[in-house]
Amino acid sequence: MRQPKPLLQIENLSKIFHIRQGFSSQEFHAVDKASIIIESDKPEIFAVVGESGSGKTTLAKMVLGMETASEGTLRYKDRVVNDISSKEMKTWFYREVQPVFQDPFAAFSPLKRIDGYLFETAANYKMADKKEAPRYINEVLSEVGLTLAEIAGRYPNELSGGQAQRVAIARALITKPSLIVADEPVSMLDASLRMSIVNMFRNLKDHSEVSVIYITHDLATAFYAGDRIAVMLRGWIVEMGPTEQVLGNPLHPYTQNLKNSIPSIRASDAWKEKIDLAVIETDEYTRTGCKFAGRCPAVMNICHDNIPPSVQHQGRSVKCFLYEDDGAPTSQKIAAPALG
């Protein structure tokens, strides 16, 4: 049997921005050689986590075709996205890959009725003719737990954040996409509504055959929803693999740091140690060695001047000198930095 082509194939993808200061110009890699494959045979939720300024959104924009990559290739259904004509981008690519953004109220004009967006999208992509449209839209809305009657004629401000985000997701589903790129879709929402949106992504994956790239800084929901996860730090993917392994037993000191920083509601898990934060963002981006060297509790001499390779270790890829060999970590003493 032939292996089906992957849905999305990202190879060594980079985005380089230039910062100008007076006459000098400095390069900085918002995304640095990212490689991700999302298979087409089985829909999955691929979580991308990292702190603000880690390049998550730039990566999303490149996948969405909103930003061109500086280096590397991005293939969607075995076609190089850069080479797709602008006409085909409109008729095919944008239909296939749909975005959901952070703030549902910024995604809709406050002066337009919200159902108008759904009808417009359906008409633009010829998903249903005029007579059929209400029935079709109602069907799509039912996938996100709404009905057309509930939202017909209403303005965005009349909806709750959760409802507006559902409508934004329904709008993305109208074109029957294969991939949804959701950039922080729940971070504006309340705890009680958050889970309903995340549960919805799980349902969509199971019942509507849609893969989701779920970008978030919220590790708990990434763990809950994601099948696989990539942890980003200053443009690098430092650890990537099945969510249960990566977050269950994180190897990269940065992932360990992230996991330990989740505020727990159990008193026994209260933090004991203090942590360091980056002072100036561009300092870490332009660091020559490992970008985490300045904050890493397990830092070694080699880390300051050399870029660590990505190695396969315990079923995931990890970009750290501690795991240079594919066997045991280089030193047992520093292998398990205890972060409080």
Partner 1 sequence: MGTIIEANNLRAYYITKAYGVERTVKAVDGITLRIQEGEVYGIAGESGCGKSTLLRVLLNAYNPPLTVVDGEVVYHLDGERVSAADMNEERQRDLRWRTLSYIPQGSMHVLNPVRRIRDSFHDFISAHRDVSKAESFALTAKYLRDLGLPEKVLASYPHQLSGGMRQRVTIALATILWPKLIFADEPTTALDVVVQRGVIQMLKDVQQKEGSTLILITHDIGVHANLADRIAILYAGKLVEEAATQTILESPRHPYTRFLIESLPSLDSREERLSIPGRPPALDRPPSGCRFHERCPLAKDICKTIEPALIEIAPRHFTACHVVEEELSHASA
Q: Kindly tell me which residue out of 37, 106, 262, 338 binds partner 1, with binding defined by CB under 8 A.
A: 262
Judged by CB, which is closer to partner 1: 71, or 281? Answer: 281
Query: If you search the block for the tokens 């017909």, which residue do you land on?
Result: 152
The pair phi, psi for residue 116, each rounded to 5°, is -55, -35
Check: CB of residue 173 under 8 Å from CB of residue 210: yes
Closest CB 111 distance from partner 1, rounded Å:
16
Judged by CB, which is closer to partner 1: 134, or 294? Answer: 294
Would you state the structure tokens that stand for residue 278, as one six-digit string? 């980056």
Closest CB 326 distance from partner 1, rounded Å:
26
259-277: burial string, b at 16+ Cβ within 10 Å, e else: bbeeeeeeeeeeeeeeeee
Closest CB 307 distance from partner 1, rounded Å:
22
State the binding string over 283-322 for partner 1 (x if CB under 8 A, else -). Answer: ----------------------------------------
The amino acid at residue 111 is L
State the binding string over 171-210 for partner 1 (x if CB under 8 A, else -). Answer: ----------------x--xxxxxxx-xx--x--------
State the binding string over 214-233 for partner 1 (x if CB under 8 A, else -). Answer: ---xxxxx-xx---------
Check: CB of residue 248 under 8 Å from CB of residue 262: no
165 forms part of the interface with partner 1 (CB under 8 A):
no
Q: Quick one: which segment of 31-39, 174-182, 261-269, 326-334 binds partner 1 (CB under 8 A)?
A: 261-269
Upper half-sphere CA count for residue 120 (Cβ side, 13 Å)? 8
State the binding string over 264-283 for partner 1 (x if CB under 8 A, else -). Answer: xxxx--xx--xx-xxxxxx-
77, 66, 177: which is closest to 127 by C-alpha? 177
Judged by CB, which is closer to partner 1: 120, or 269? Answer: 269
The pair phi, psi for residue 285, each rounded to 5°, is -65, -35
Tell me which DSSP letter residue 180 carries: E
Closest CB 219 distance from partner 1, rounded Å:
6
78, 90, 64: which is closest to 7 by C-alpha? 78
CA distance 127 to 30: 36
C-alpha pair distances (Å), 226 with each of 49, 63, 158, 298: 10, 18, 31, 28
Closest CB 196 distance from partner 1, rounded Å:
4
Check: CB of residue 34 under 8 Å from CB of residue 12: yes
State the binding string over 33-72 for partner 1 (x if CB under 8 A, else -). Answer: -----------------xxxx-------------------
Chain contacts with partner 1 (rule: CB under 8 A): 50-53, 160-163, 187, 190-196, 198-199, 202, 217-221, 223-224, 243-244, 247-248, 257-259, 261-267, 270-271, 274-275, 277-282
